[in-house]
Structure 1
Amino acid sequence: MNGATVTAPLVAAIEAAWTAIQTTHDDVPEVVVTIGSGSSAKGLRLGHLAADRWVRGEDAVHELFVGGEGLARGGADVMGTLLHEAAHAAAQARGVQDTSRQGRYHNQKFKAIAESFGLVIEHDAKIGWSVTALPAGAAAHYAATISNLDAAITAHRRAELHGAEGGRKSNNNGAAAACGCGRKIRASLAVLDAGPIVCSLCGDEYTPEN
């Protein structure tokens, strides 16, 4: 053993990658990097941006979560995840609402920002314009950063299996959801997860109350 840790070089490489993104896109704010389990009954979370989760003096700082399981994909795909989350950060800075359904559904505004960051974005029926790929041009632009990530990723987290008992329990009464004008509906969780339901009066999406 050479005494080197897994965590310190990895966090440093992720922070350096974020700085490289900021150099290209000046409205991407600073973040606090956290690494942990992305496994849950709902699937695997590769990354997540949580706005204003940290406090430094009188300032709020965003949190950048990176799922340890996703590190197994290598530096290029991790860079794609970081650019995806940086697009969310830029949307936050610009005052653009780029998601709905508690941040799960990615809309066309997110797609436009993410593509301007060099990503290829495809649609998924449940999570919207969220499926992310790093094309050759963006990979070439961040080649040194990706190489640095590859060198720092010396370990990754094992994915955990979640049985039915750990997942969402059925509810015959469904879930209550409200729109912008205050009207409410009740629908099954499966229906709400399938895609946006829009109010015909105000045009806002019905969002689950809990």
Structure 2
Amino acid sequence: MKKLNNYQRTVQYLVKVFKLINEDYFENSLPQPQTTVQSTVGAYGHITTSKVWKNDDGMASYELNIGADYLYRPIEELVATLIHESVHLYCLENDIKDTSNRGIYHNKTFKRIAEDKGHLIISRHPKYGWTITEPSEETLDFCIRHELTDVLITRQSNVLLPGKSPKTKRPSSTRKYMCPCCGNSFRATKFLRVLCMDCDEQFVLA
């Protein structure tokens, strides 16, 4: 797979990941939004509450934006953000009230759906409600299952979310193992000692 180190490739990749999320977690029930990567102060991403994009055939669609300033995060955290926004889209499509205060405060309905359908870890922010989103073991398994990799481009800025430290690329929780003989590979979320049954060789970290 080509490195995700330019804008166009990254947007195409995020579209692909959304489609995988839609298939795995929402039974392909979500409409395809227009995916954008733009700077968003104080937010990892957003989904518009109305269909703000329209093409020449009159077809309208929502906008799903991933904050350009936060692409540096490990892939499982980007995926968690995409699932978070997909939950909002699910609620929009099913007329479920998951936020208040103009979409800022996330209520317990959002928490329940994000945990039940999105398999996310949701914690409460004192001001914004049930909005703090972390990847779960299932999120990591999703990344491994679909062989997702980190995005290697980000917009340089001094924007920080509350309580966050300056940007440093944290290592992903997924690890790739490869047989040094035949080249077979797999991904895992922890250190393992695994033997290739075809070559009788131990897999090594790639």
* Partners of 1:127 and 1:12 in 2: CA distance: 31
Equivalent residue, structure 1, for 2:156 = 158
Of 27, 30, 41, which residue of structure 2 is paired with 1:28? 30
Deviation at residue 108 of structure 1 after TM alignment = 1.0
* Partners of 1:62 and 1:149 in 2: CA distance: 26
SS class of match (1:118):
coil
Q: Tell whether the 8 Å contact from 1:29 to 1:90 is kept in structure 2 after alignment.
A: no
* Partners of 1:155 and 1:85 in 2: CA distance: 21
Equivalent residue, structure 2, for 1:75 = 75
SS class of match (1:142):
helix
Equivalent residue, structure 2, for 1:11 = 11
Q: Tell whether the 8 Å contact from 1:27 to 1:93 is kept in structure 2 after alignment.
A: no
Alignment of 1:45-194 (within 5 A): 45-50=43-48, 51-56=50-55, 57-116=57-116, 117-145=118-146, 147-150=147-150, 153-160=151-158
Letter in 1 for 2:53: W
Per the normalisation by structure 1, the TM-score is: 0.67
Indicate the structure with greater helix content.
1
Letter in 1 for 2:133: T
* Partners of 2:87 and 2:5 in 1: CA distance: 30
**CA pair 112-48 structure 1, distance change in 2 beyond 3 A:** same
Deviation at residue 149 of structure 1 after TM alignment = 4.1
Per the normalisation by structure 2, the TM-score is: 0.69
The C-alpha deviation readout for 1:23-74, integer Å capped at 9, x for no partner, is 12122221101111123xxxx2110001311113333201001101111112
User: Identity percentage over the alignment?
Assistant: 25
* Partners of 1:35 and 1:27 in 2: CA distance: 23
* Partners of 2:30 and 2:149 in 1: CA distance: 20
* Partners of 1:119 and 1:73 in 2: CA distance: 16
Deviation at residue 101 of structure 1 after TM alignment = 0.6
**Which structure 2 residue ranges, 5 or more long, are not aligned?**
161-206
Letter in 1 for 2:152: T
The C-alpha deviation readout for 1:155-177, integer Å capped at 9, x for no partner, is 11123359xxxxxxxxxxxxxxx
SS class of match (2:51):
strand
**CA pair 94-154 structure 1, distance change in 2 beyond 3 A:** same
Q: Tell whether the 8 Å contact from 2:38 to 2:67 is kept in structure 1 after alignment.
A: yes
* Count of residue pairs the alignment pairs up: 153
The C-alpha deviation readout for 1:85-122, integer Å capped at 9, x for no partner, is 00000001111011111110001111111112110111
* Partners of 1:143 and 1:93 in 2: CA distance: 29
Letter in 2 for 1:79: V
SS class of match (1:73):
coil
* Partners of 2:102 and 2:84 in 1: CA distance: 17
Alignment of 1:37-48 (within 5 A): 37-39=39-41, 44-48=42-46
